[in-house]
Amino acid sequence: MSGIDAEVWPEGSLEVLSQHEVDLLRSNGSSGLYGLLRRCMLAVLNSGSEDDDAREVLQAYRDFEVGFIQQDRGLKVSLKNAPAGAFVDGSMIRGTRELLSAVLRDIVYTRHEILDSGRFDLESSEGITNAVFHILRNAGLLVLPADINMVVCWGGHAISRNEYDYSKLIGYEMGLRGLDVCTGCGPGAMKGPMKGATIGHAKQRIRDGRYVGITEPGIIAAESPNPIVNSLIIMPDMEKRLEAFVRTGHGIVVFPGGVGTAEEILYLLGVLLHPDNSAQPLPLIMTGPASAAAYFRQIDDFVGATLGPEAQSRYKIIIDDPQAVAQEMKTRLHDVREFRKLHGDAFYFNWRLTIDREFQVPFVATHESMRELDISEDLPTHILAANLRRVFSGIVSGNVREDTAERIECDGPFEIRGSQRIMDMLDNLLAAFVQQQRMKISGKDYDPCYVIK
């Protein structure tokens, strides 16, 4: 696919890099960062694309290249064969240039300050949380004075037009109430709430509304950042991305989605089910138009049958009522504010939330790791939630990561084993996702990357 050649100055971050840092960014070897940088920058430049097949995106722009030009007044990035949609009349869209700079900022910082510095014990729960905090702080997300108004929105990228329009209405109602929006930064249910919030903020003359997108390198090519994101953060892996969501968000709204959304729900419920978090207020609302009622009934039945009534008590389902969702969230955020004030907790980062190491250690989906997951009914509830989360995480990886997809093409689908009762429910839930076209890739019929044993 033909593209555009351009040279751009970073916008607001890392205009100056050391020679060692530039050499790492240029290197495509085992210790180099070029492959990671190219992948993430291509995703940002491809913003607005409807293509969710990472391999097709990377193949379409196989001639895309990134380079660096060091000058007396700083660093310039050169691009060859970049997607034309990132430019207007030959100039890069300013928002795209800002997101491009965020990629550079996070990749360099994570490698030098988090992974290679030795300052963080990434084997301990405390060390991982500390690393998440530092990445977010370096990205400028943790600002003062802080308020309790950040709502994380989860949901699928492959949703119907009706569900997308509904997510915009939710965003609009929340924007009218002065709430900011944080999503996974992609299209669909990640874009809709942001788009609606911009209108609500505009009506209230809120000029500093935040539309935060948090992603990670494994999925960014399949879920390019949508154009509304004004604060992009790339976490090093899925687990740190999920932790960033729940430690910076004050409330969470879940829209219809597929396996990725199910992964997020199970992650959050597993965290909230930890005994240390029993008093922790973190409002969770599941919502969609009337046509999504059956979807949430399936999710609710699966949660009830696997994690029990206590897990079901941690969320509320509201169908086809955007105003009620926004009002409920606004009311519940008052409880969050009072809890933080009572305990002297920060508004910008939830240090008090206990996240078990089982939810923090990166899970790499391989045939062996998927086969060995323990899905037993006698596990502690929050550990069962962690392993079910890994099941969905592995399926997401098989769907959107090109390296995982290649392993599956070579060695066959992942095998998922466990309690027969849970396996039957899991099979039914995944079959419903497929039937509802919530697991399609680039509009094609879905070929499962897994088998339930």
pLDDT at 391: 95
CB 218 within 8 A of CB 236: no
pLDDT at 323: 98
Average pLDDT on 193-208 reads 97
The model's pTM is 0.92
Cα gap 114→23, rounded to integer Å: 18
Angle at alpha carbon of residue 319, lines to 161 and 214, rounded to 5° = 60
Cα gap 337→197, rounded to integer Å: 21
Average pLDDT on 59-69 reads 86
- Work out the pLDDT band at 72, boundaries 50, 70, 90: low
The string over 205-218, giving b where at least 16 C-beta atoms fall within 10 Å of a residue's C-beta and e elsewhere, is ebeebbbbbbbbbb
pLDDT at 141: 95
Q: Measuring CA to CA, which residue among 59, 66, 27 is closest to residue 45?
A: 66
Beta bridge partners of residue 69, listed in sequence order: 76
Cα gap 79→68, rounded to integer Å: 9
Domains of the chain, first to last: 4-100 (3.30.1850.10), 146-453 (3.40.50.450)
pLDDT at 447: 81
Q: Measuring CA to CA, which residue among 450, 451, 446 is closest to residue 156?
A: 446
pLDDT at 218: 84
pLDDT at 448: 85
* Lowest-pLDDT choice from 25-34, 141-150, 163-172, 291-300: 25-34
Cα gap 72→205, rounded to integer Å: 41
pLDDT at 224: 87
pLDDT at 80: 93
What tokens appear for 420 in the block?
Answer: 């027969």
Reported as a single tens digit per residue, the pLDDT across 115-172 is 998 999 999 999 999 999 999 999 999 988 899 999 999 999 889 999 999 999 999 9
Cα gap 96→88, rounded to integer Å: 11
Average pLDDT, the chain: 90
Kindly report the three-state secondary structure assignment for every residue of the chain: CCCEEEEECCCCCCCCCCHHHHHHHHCCCCCCCHHHHHHHHHHHHCCCCCCCCHHHHHHHCCCCEEEEEEECCEEEEEEEEECHHHEECCEECHHHHHHHHHHHHHHHHHHHHHHCCCCCCCCCHHHHHHHHHHHHHHCCCCCCCCCCCEEEEECCCCCCHHHHHHHHHHHHHHHHCCCEEEECCCCHHHCHHHHHHHHHHHHCCCCCCCEEEEECHHHHCCCCCCCCCCEEEECCCHHHHHHHHHHHCCEEEECCCCHHHHHHHHHHHHHHCCHHHCCCCCCEEEEECHHHHHHHHHHHHHHHHHCCHHHHCCCEEEECCHHHHHHHHHHHHHHHHHHHHHHCCCCCCCCCCCCCHHHCCCCCCCHHHHHCCCCCCCCCHHHHHHHHHHHHHHHHHHHHCHHHHHHHHHHCCEEECCCHHHHHHHHHHHHHHHHCCCCCECCECCCCCEEEC
Cα gap 154→194, rounded to integer Å: 12
Q: In what order do the strands lie in the sheet with 231-234?
A: 231-234, 211-215, 180-183, 150-154, 251-254, 284-288, 316-319
What tokens appear for 198 in the block?
Answer: 């911009």
Beta bridge partners of residue 284, listed in sequence order: 252
Q: Is the pLDDT of residue 442 over 60?
A: no
Name the one residue in this structure whose structure tokens are 């989360």: 389
Residue 100: CB partners within 8 Å, gap ≥ 6?
Answer: 8, 10, 11, 41, 44, 45, 77, 92
